[in-house]
Amino acid sequence: MAFKFVHTADIHLDSPLKSLALRDPGLAELIGNATRTALSRIIDLCISEEVHALVIAGDLYDGSQTSMKTARFLAQEMERLTASGILAFLIRGNHDASSKITRELVLPDALKVFSGRAETLEATLNDHAVAIHGISFRLPHAPESLLGHFNSPVPNVFNIGILHTSLDGATGHDPYAPCALADLQQTGYDYWALGHIHKRSVHPGKTTVVMPGIPQGRDIGEAGPKSVTLVSVDDDGMVSQQEREVAVAQFERLAIDCNAISDWSVLVDTLKQTLKTARHEFLGENLIVRPILVGQSSLAWRANRDADLLRGEAQHIAEQIGTIWIDKVEIALQPDEGIKPGGAVGDMIALVTQGTAKADDPSVQAEIDLILKHLPRELRGFIGDSEEQVAAALDDAMKQGAMDILARLEEAEAE
């Protein structure tokens, strides 16, 4: 085998977990420490696999962090690579560009940090000539493509490009250094090590293009297994890659079919069985789940009214199972058509279920903007860091709150 390297990105070391901290401090502590553990496991993987290099395609840090504890931890981990004779190549992503740690931290000589101008570094990995091309973000925003700044491939060597990019765009990600997959494949490079999009994707071919995804999910929006990519290059320059999981915890949504369930104890037992099955099927070391109750049930209104009791049941079941955590219980139940309340309550239910109330109403948005401006800086992103995320979170919260009120009105009307 010619040489091997590990490709990762978007570690977001010591990322603050605003929404989890508000819901469950214990869960926030587990995931808050998980980014450090994931980095340590990445270094462990490099050493155990005897790779020749580690490639980090941006967002090693997370925004405007100032903690030098983070810096010291990172330096210690990089020293482990140096002691094992492993080189490391890092570009700065949009989060790194706004981090004070980026400017203050002194890292080992074995770690090459690319500047804000495109550079090409030639190295020897296991007696094979390699050219590594990279460019860092100078500023937190890069609305234009950076691909045109890269140098031409070095002849007769293996060429690796490192780029932090949103590609053609992805849901939940702002456009950063956008470019087309076809443009990457036409550069003549052998491997493109990408970062920024938190979902893994692999595009094999004459030019292998890999987005490794985030190695440790931080909330339910980053559900599923998380990993890094172990890349092997043979003597003929052929590339093979393996996905290697390093996450401490895995997030998953669990849809629970509650059609025709009319007994509370049956509902709780169904929840219990679903959680047990999930813990058996998902192999994550720690599993963090969001049960979502779906379907039509005569318990729809009671479930909304007693959502706190249902969450308590779920947490108790999770504690009994072990290594499974409850993110939140989401109630998306609809009343049985045959027993749907009439009168004023019924009319109000119809308005809510049809989505009449919207967070993008100007009066609603003005109130939300005012509230967010008065929140402490560290809490301002707890419902999202983009206009789309905030709107979706507010729509969900408004509908959930309305359903809770209607459940109580329906109960009072029945009495």
Q: How many CA atoms lie within 13 A of 414 on its CB side?
A: 12
Which of 213-217, 283-287, 364-368 has the lowest average pLDDT? 364-368
Both tokens of 388, joined, read 């789309």
Per-domain boundaries in the chain: 3-245, 249-333, 341-415
Confidence of residue 98 (pLDDT cuts 50, 70, 90): very low
- pLDDT over 80 (residue 33): yes
State the average pLDDT over residues 256-263. Answer: 94
Selected residue with higher pLDDT from 224 and 371: 224
Selected residue with higher pLDDT from 264 and 369: 264
- pLDDT over 50 (residue 202): yes
- pLDDT over 90 (residue 282): yes
pLDDT score of 25 = 82
Selected residue with higher pLDDT from 395 and 383: 395
State the average pLDDT over residues 219-233. Answer: 95
pLDDT score of 92 = 86
Percent of residues, the chain, with pLDDT higher than 90? 55
Selected residue with higher pLDDT from 366 and 165: 165
- pLDDT over 90 (residue 4): yes
CA trace torsion 20, 94, 195, 105 (10° rounding): -90
pLDDT score of 260 = 86
Which of 16-20, 305-309, 313-317 has the lowest average pLDDT? 16-20
- pLDDT over 60 (residue 348): no
Q: How many CB atoms lie within 10 A of CB 246?
A: 22
Confidence of residue 63 (pLDDT cuts 50, 70, 90): low
Both tokens of 208, joined, read 């292998």
Length of the chain: 415
- pLDDT over 50 (residue 346): yes
State the average pLDDT over residues 370-384. Answer: 58
In this structure, what DSSP letter does residue 293 have?
E
- Kindly write down the DSSP assignment for every residue of 133-199, as one continuous string: EE---SSS---S--GGGSPPPPTTSEEEEEEEE-TT-BTTB---S---HHHHHTS--SEEEEEE-SS
- pLDDT, one tens digit per residue, over 139-176 is 556 667 778 899 999 999 999 999 999 887 655 556 67
The β-bridge partners of 161 are: 133, 192
State the average pLDDT over residues 222-246. Answer: 95
- pLDDT over 80 (residue 381): no
Confidence of residue 323 (pLDDT cuts 50, 70, 90): very high
Percent of residues, the chain, with pLDDT higher than 70? 72
Report yes or no: 179 and 147 within 8 Å, Cβ to Cβ.
Answer: yes
Selected residue with higher pLDDT from 408 and 152: 152
* Nearest Cα residue to 43 out of 12, 86, 14: 86
First-to-last CA distance in the chain? 76
- pLDDT over 80 (residue 395): no
In this structure, what DSSP letter does residue 217 have?
-
The whole model's pTM is what?
A: 0.79
Place of tokens 């580690």: 54
pLDDT score of 396 = 65
pLDDT score of 254 = 97
State the average pLDDT over residues 338-363. Answer: 56
Q: What rounded mean pLDDT belongs to the chain?
A: 83
Class of domain 3-245: alpha beta
